[in-house]
């Protein structure tokens, strides 16, 4: 199968916004022989048909990235930062378009899409500001006679695999770091939400990023495309956000070629409410942490663990706030919770609810798919007795909250840590010393203290155990795309004084 160049780019009108629907390879939009549909999860209707890239297309994109590598890595830091600045300005000028397209293809409420865009732009700006501050070290050798110079160089062409749940944030966070470090990229979009990626890549192209530095491949054959790229020894970096199962497969594929890997994988976020917590604050933050993006977030509150002293008060208030949430089309005013991403995903939520019933959990509200077009499910709360094996250490990824009761802080910490995951955890208490003590004992890469959202460009976002490798954001992010390089420089110290 072959692709043909498209000029001007094929586009689709999505909520009044023109979005490219082709593949972007070596600075050109290309039309594949076949397409696949993008559906609006709020209606089930097709909103666009995008080019369905093949293995050959992906390898052509890698060809372009390899060809661009040498020139891109040697662009002066200030020149690269200036290019980022132009791109950031263009992104900001298109904020409304990005929000509209995100809501159309992902279903999330427009307010959430706007917030995601704002955070994404902040990440991109953060990387812009870091480009000129990538420093090495200089030191005398331990026994003299030469100098130890450590610098950094780009790891090389990078494959960035983005998920559907945060289509703008993930590409801005990954591509921003990779490009800032001097790595050309091949972006493989999620087939459910390819249009936001297309807008992002189009913006970088218009800002002046050189041909081959940014490449975009949409595909309905993700496994085959990824496997082909991972088997090519010219690929030197993989960054993936998604399920732990797929991440494990990619790590296996990375092993033969020793490909540098960053993985942001599944979560089982414990949301701990201690006996001295501000119950109202905890309930409000739990709503945000659980039901944002219809619960489809790896950092969502997965197990809400509440001390028995405040369990009833918290539960009553949490259920009250849950029942006040408005479910609907993300473009409608006043909507708090949008649809599930797909019919298949909604079916999995139905199965989850059946599992909860089977485990003896007490349904407090919700529990049903909603009638009509689209893939809507009512915000749901269960009280779960005991520690059912079929529920603990399982990522829910749904608008379904599960509340567990504990009798002590020690029990809460032990239960929270009893999982193979280690991405995000949350602790609510009025005692700062207690918060720090508990936070330090939680085996998670991130801990929110009295807050349910903590993504920030200055913070190192990532997890431990089965939740991943590496960090996105903060000072560490760009270094995930750089390799240290050591230069041993002989110095004739006597001659230097003659």
Q: List pLDDT tens digits, range 332-350.
A: 999 999 999 999 999 999 9
Residue 218 sits in the same domain as residue 296:
no
Task: Give the 3-state secondary structure of residue 391.
Answer: coil
User: Within a domain: residue 416?
Assistant: yes
d(CA 269, CA 112): 21
The confidence score (pLDDT) of residue 492 equals 79
> pLDDT at residue 423 above 60?
yes
- Tokens encoding 313: 């008060």
Nearest to 374 by CA among 400, 335, 321, 401: 335
What pLDDT, on the 0 to 100 scale, is given for residue 359? 95
pLDDT at 109: 98
User: Same domain for 216 and 310?
Assistant: no
> Quick one: average pLDDT of 35-51?
98
Which of residues 7 and 403 earns the better pLDDT score?
A: 403
Q: Give CA angle at 142 (137, 144), nearest 5°.
A: 100
351 is catalytic: no
- Asked if residue 8 has a cis previous peptide bond (ω within 30° of 0), the answer is yes
Least confident of 47-56, 386-395, 448-457: 386-395
Both 247 and 344 in a single domain? no
Same domain, 253 and 290: no
Q: Tokens 């470090």 identify what position?
A: 181
Rounded distance, CA 296 to CA 370, Å? 17
Examine the domain organization and report whether 321 and 201 are in the same domain: no
In a domain, 405, yes or no: yes
Whether 352 is in a domain gets the answer yes
Question: How many helices (H) and strands (E) in the chain?
Answer: 14, 23
CATH number at residue 325: 3.40.309.10
CA angle at residue 245 from 244 to 248, to 5 degrees?
A: 85
Do residues 180 and 472 touch, judged by C-beta distance below 8 A? no
Whether residue 109 is contained in a domain is answered as yes
CA distances from 476 to 81, 127, 189, 460, 481 (A): 18, 11, 24, 7, 10
Q: Which one is catalytic: 183, 197, 289, 298? A: 298
Q: Domain range spanning residue 143?
A: 11-265
> Shortest CA distance to 42 belongs to which of 85, 128, 105, 126?
105
Whether residue 260 lies inside any domain: the answer is: yes
Q: Are residues 290 and 252 in the same domain?
A: no
What value, to the nearest 5°, has the Cα angle with vertex 115 and ends 416 and 335? Answer: 85
| pLDDT for 5 beyond 70 | no
Here the contacts of 441-444 (C-beta below 8 Å, separation 24 or greater) are 441/413, 441/417, 442/270, 442/413, 442/416, 442/417, 443/417, 444/269, 444/270
Count CB-CB contacts under 10 A for residue 89: 12
Global pTM value: 0.95
Same domain, 312 and 213: no
Last residue of a domain, one of 265, 283, 314: 265
Identify whether 471 is part of a domain.
Answer: no
Q: Which of 105, 116, 264, 405 is catalytic?
A: 264
Are 275 and 140 contained in the same domain? Answer: no
- 264 is known as an active-site residue: yes
The answer to the question of residue 103 being in a domain is yes
Q: Which of 265, 298, 321 is the last residue before a domain boundary?
A: 265
- In angstroms, how far is the first alpha carbon of the chain from the final one? 69
| Same domain flag for 34 and 180 | yes
Number of domains in the chain: 2
Token pair in block for residue 288: 């945000």
343 and 410 share a domain?
yes
Task: Choose the final residue of a domain: 449, 467, 485.
Answer: 449
In a domain, 2, yes or no: no
| Pair (347, 235) in one structural domain | no
| 239 lies in the same domain as 313 | no
Residue 321 φ/ψ, nearest 5 degrees: -70, -35
Strand, helix or coil for residue 422:
coil
What is the overall mean pLDDT for the chain?
Answer: 96
Residue 476 — very low, low, confident or very high, per pLDDT cuts 50/70/90?
confident
């Amino acid at each position: 199968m072959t692709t043909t160049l498209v000029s001007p780019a094929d586009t689709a009108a999505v909520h009044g916004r023109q979005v490219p629907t082709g593949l972007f390879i070596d600075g050109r939009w290309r039309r594949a022989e076949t397409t696949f549909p993008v559906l609006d999860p709020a209606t089930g209707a097709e909103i666009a048909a995008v080019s369905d890239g093949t293995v050959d297309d992906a390898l052509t994109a890698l060809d372009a990235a390899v060809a661009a590598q040498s020139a891109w890595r040697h662009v002066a830091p200030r020149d690269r930062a200036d290019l980022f600045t132009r791109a950031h300005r263009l992104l900001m000028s298109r904020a409304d378009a990005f929000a509209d397209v995100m809501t159309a293809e992902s279903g999330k409420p427009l307010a959430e899409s706007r917030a995601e865009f704002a955070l994404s732009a902040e990440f991109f700006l953060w990387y812009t500001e870091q480009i000129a501050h990538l420093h090495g070290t200089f030191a005398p050798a331990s026994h003299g006679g030469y100098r130890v110079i450590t610098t950094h160089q780009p790891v090389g062409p990078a494959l960035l695999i983005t998920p559907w749940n945060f289509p703008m944030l993930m590409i801005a966070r990954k591509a921003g770091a990779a490009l800032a470090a001097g790595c050309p990229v091949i972006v493989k979009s999620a087939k459910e939400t390819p249009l936001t990626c297309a807008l992002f890549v189009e913006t970088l192209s218009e800002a002046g990023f050189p041909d081959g530095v940014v490449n975009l491949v949409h595909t309905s054959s993700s496994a085959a495309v990824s496997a082909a790229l991972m088997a090519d020894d010219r690929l030197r970096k993989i960054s993936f956000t998604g399920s732990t199962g797929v991440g494990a497969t990619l790590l296996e594929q990375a092993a033969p070629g020793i490909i540098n890997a960053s993985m942001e994988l599944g979560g089982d976020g414990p949301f701990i409410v201690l006996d001295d917590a501000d119950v109202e604050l905890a309930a409000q933050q739990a709503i945000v942490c659980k039901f944002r993006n219809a619960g489809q977030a790896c950092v969502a509150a997965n197990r809400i663990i509440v001390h028995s002293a405040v369990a009833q008060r918290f539960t009553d208030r949490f259920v009250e706030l849950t029942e006040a949430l408005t479910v609907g089309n993300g473009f409608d005013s006043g909507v708090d919770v949008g649809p599930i991403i797909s019919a298949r995903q909604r079916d999995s939520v139905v199965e989850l609810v059946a599992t909860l019933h089977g485990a003896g959990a007490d349904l407090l509200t919700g529990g049903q798919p909603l009638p009509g077009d689209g893939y809507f499910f009512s915000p749901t709360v269960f009280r779960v007795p005991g520690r059912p094996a079929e529920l603990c250490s399982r990522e829910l990824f749904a608008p379904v909250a599960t509340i567990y009761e504990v009798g002590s802080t020690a029990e809460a910490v032990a239960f929270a840590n009893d999982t193979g995951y280690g991405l995000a955890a949350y602790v609510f208490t009025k005692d700062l010393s207690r918060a720090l003590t508990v936070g330090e004992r939680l085996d998670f890469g991130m801990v929110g203290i009295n807050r349910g959202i903590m993504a920030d460009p200055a913070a190192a976002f990532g997890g431990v155990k089965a939740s991943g490798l590496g960090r996105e954001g903060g000072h560490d992010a760009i270094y995930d795309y750089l390799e240290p390089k050591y230069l041993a420089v002989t110095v004739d110290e006597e001659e230097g004084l003659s």
